[in-house]
Amino acid sequence: MRVPLALRGFTGFGRAFLVAALALLSPLEPQLFWAEEPKNSTDEVWQVRPQPLLHHWLDLPDWVSISLGYVNEINGNPSGGLQQSATYTHNLSLNTSFSSGFRRPESEWDEFDAWKLVINASQRSGTSLSEKIPNAQSVQQIFGDGQTFRLAGLWVERNQSEPGLLKVKLGKMATFDDFASSPLLCYYSNNGFCG
Range of the domain at 66: 52-187
- Has residue 66 been placed in a domain? yes
Domain assignment of residue 6, yes or no: no
The pLDDT value recorded for residue 3 is: 45
Q: What is the mean pLDDT of each run of 10 residues along the chain (195 residues)?
A: 48 56 48 48 50 72 86 83 85 89 76 87 86 79 75 87 73 76 63 55
| Residue 102 domain flag | yes
pTM: 0.61
Query: What pLDDT does residue 100 have?
Result: 83
Domain-located, residue 179: yes
- Cβ count within 10 A of residue 49: 6
Q: What values do phi and psi take at 12, rounded to 5?
A: -60, -45
DSSP 143: S
In a domain, 165, yes or no: yes
* Structural domains of the chain, count: 1
- Catalogue the E-assigned strands of the chain: 64-77, 85-98, 115-126, 149-159, 167-172
- For residue 168, tell me if it sits in a domain: yes
Which pLDDT value is given to residue 119? 94
